[in-house]
Amino acid sequence: MRFNGYEREEFRRFFASVDMGFLHYLDGELVGHTNFLNDRPEDRVVEIGNTWLNPKAWGTDANTEAKYLLLRHAFEDEGYFRVEFKTDASNERSRPALEKVGATFEGVARKHQVVRGGERRDSAWYAVIDDEWPAAKTSLERRLGLRE
C-alpha cells in the first residue's frame, strides 16, 4: 500500500524522523501533516516542510492554521529571524499556498534533491523573515477569523 507516494514502511520511517509539527484532522480523520525541519538555531533559521495534505482537506484552513502556529512559535517564542519553505518547483498548488501564508519567493534551486524513485527535483524556495512577520501574522489571523 502506498501513502502519499511512499510505501507504508518508508512513510513510517519518515514520520518517525520529523521534529515538532502538526497533524491535520478533518472530521476525525487524519488528512495531513507539516513540521519544523532543518533547524539552524545558531543562524536563527528553521524550515517548515514535510507537508502533505489529502485532497479532502484542500480548500480548508487546516494547513493554513498549522503554518500560522509554526510561524508564530518560530518568531515569537524562539526568536528566529527567518523561516524557510521549499517545494517542488512544478507544484502548482503549493507555490500559491506559500505566498498566501506570507512567504516571499526567493528562487529555484535546480536539481536540488533526489525524491521518490530517484527523480531529480527542482526546488522553489520561499521565506518569511522577522521583519515581515507582523504583516504576515495580521493577514493570517484575518484569514483564519482570529481578528477583524
Domain with 107 in it: what CATH number?
A: 3.40.630.30
Residue 117: is its pLDDT beyond 90?
A: no
Long-range (24+ apart) CB contacts under 8 A made by 90-95 are 90/122, 91/124, 93/58, 94/51, 95/124, 95/126
More confident residue, 82 or 25: 82
Work out the angle at residue 16's Cα, subtended by the Cα atoms of residues 15 and 21, and round it to the nearest 5 degrees.
65
Strands 29-40 and 45-53: antiparallel
Q: Which of these, 105, 100, 115, lies nearest to 64 by C-alpha position?
A: 100
Does any domain span residue 34? yes
CA-CA distance, 90 to 96, in Å (whole number)?
Answer: 11
Decide if 48 contacts 70 (C-beta within 8 A): yes
Does any domain span residue 66? yes
pLDDT band for position 57 (cuts 50, 70, 90) = confident
Count: domains in the chain: 1
pLDDT of residue 116: 81
Tell me what the mean pLDDT of segment 109-137 comes to. 95
pLDDT of residue 1: 43
Does any domain span residue 108? yes
Q: Which of these, 80, 59, 71, 84, lies nearest to 139 by C-alpha position?
A: 71
Distances (CA, A) of 107 to 15, 47, 69, 85: 28, 16, 25, 11
Domain carrying residue 35: 2-143
Does any domain span residue 148? no
Does any domain span residue 85? yes
